[in-house]
């Protein structure tokens, strides 16, 4: 009988080596036993809504420039004010277990009856260019709309931008854009004359630019939209943002 021991042993060594190489994977691959941790993923982890609260808005985005998304939720609370239900804004950061509350603020989201005859003024939240954006709308015949932008800087949340639109058809419309970071204010007013035709009113527009640099940017905590006044010098123009 021929001796096949050594060829068989050699073949087994080759198969074992190939199997080990396959299990090792390509350089840089993360296996189940690899202790390397990737960026936490918490999008599918539910956040418990506080008792008696209701979710009004929910958005994801990077707010602190670490390439990891934060989550922002606006809650309708069970606390009543003179203008309806109070709202709370909660900001959550991701960790290896899910979501951890990073910040909580009351004030930047209007109560439920602040919109007048238009109803609930809250229109939604979003994250744009690393800033948290909150929109409101309300009024009666004369309507108004607010957009406020907040950014995490100097280890706090600060208001960096405010845009206000108000007016009524066949009367006037005003647009007010305030960049709080630079102090630049752009004001535009359009007067509508509908005496000839309501479908094609005669309009006249004026635009002015001002500078109003604040010593300290307003904090998001306790900020109330529409309750902050700016009067332009040597004019009769006053705005509330």
Task: Identify whether 42 is part of a domain.
Answer: no
Residue 91 lies in a domain: yes
- Number of domains making up the chain: 1
Query: Domain limits at 101?
Result: 50-240
Does residue 5 belong to any structural domain of this protein? no
Tell me how far apart the alpha carbons of residues 222 and 116 are, in angstroms, rounded to a whole number: 21
**pLDDT tens per residue, range 162-220:** 999 999 999 999 999 999 999 999 999 999 999 888 888 999 999 999 999 999 999 99
pTM score, two decimals?
0.81
Q: Residues 45-88: pLDDT tens digits?
A: 889 999 999 999 999 999 999 999 999 999 999 999 999 999 99
Q: Give the C-alpha separation, 78 to 115, whole Å.
A: 19
Evaluate whether residue 168 is within a structural domain: yes
Chain-wide mean pLDDT for the chain?
86
Which distant-in-sequence residues (6+ apart) come within 8 Å of 15 by Cβ?
none
């Amino acid at each position: 009988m021929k001796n096949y021991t050594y060829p068989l042993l050699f073949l087994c060594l080759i198969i074992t080596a190939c199997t080990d190489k396959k299990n090792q994977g390509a350089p840089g691959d993360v296996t189940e036993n690899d202790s390397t941790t990737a960026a936490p993923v918490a999008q599918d982890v539910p956040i418990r809504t506080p008792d008696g609260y209701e979710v009004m808005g929910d958005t994801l985005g990077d707010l602190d420039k670490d390439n990891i998304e934060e989550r922002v939720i606006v809650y309708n609370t069970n606390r009543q004010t003179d203008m309806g239900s109070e709202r709370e804004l909660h900001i959550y950061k991701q960790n290896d277990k899910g979501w951890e509350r990073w910040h909580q603020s009351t004030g930047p989201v209007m109560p439920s009856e602040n919109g007048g005859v238009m109803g609930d003024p809250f229109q939604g939240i979003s994250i744009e260019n690393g800033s948290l954006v909150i929109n409101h709308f309300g009024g009666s015949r004369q309507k108004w709309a607010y957009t406020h932008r907040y950014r995490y800087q100097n280890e706090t949340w600060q208001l960096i931008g405010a845009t206000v639109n108000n007016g009524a058809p066949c009367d006037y419309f005003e647009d007010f854009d305030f960049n709080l970071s630079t102090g630049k204010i752009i004001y535009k007013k359009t007067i509508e004359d509908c005496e000839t035709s309501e479908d094609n009113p005669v309009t006249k527009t004026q635009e002015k630019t001002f500078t109003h640099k604040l010593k300290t940017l307003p904090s998001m905590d306790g900020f109330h939209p529409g309750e902050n006044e700016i009067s332009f010098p040597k004019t009769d123009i006053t705005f509330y943002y």
